[in-house]
Amino acid sequence: MTVSSKLRILLLAGAVGLFGLEASEQLALPGFSGLVSSAEARVGRPLTPVSVAGAARRTVRRCAAGVYC
């Protein structure tokens, strides 16, 4: 297989993939979300940290600064 034939196959596969994504958006069934979900903006401060290590670092830093220790 030559390089040009591999490139043709790759371009054809990419075009078919893009067409499939576009078609899935247009032909979506009601109540069924497609492959690509819609974007949602989140406004405000982030939630509390889930990392225990991050919370511990913050506590040590605040204690060292004399905030609440």
pLDDT at 12: 94
pTM, full prediction: 0.39
pLDDT at 33: 59
Query: What is the distance between the alpha carbons of residues 33 and 38, in angstroms, rounded to a whole number?
Result: 9
- Please say whether the beta carbons of 68 and 62 come within 8 A: yes
pLDDT at 66: 83
Of 3, 46, 11, 65, residue with least CA distance to 57: 65
pLDDT in tens, the chain (69 residues): 788 999 999 999 999 888 877 776 666 666 665 556 667 777 776 666 567 777 788 888 888 888 776
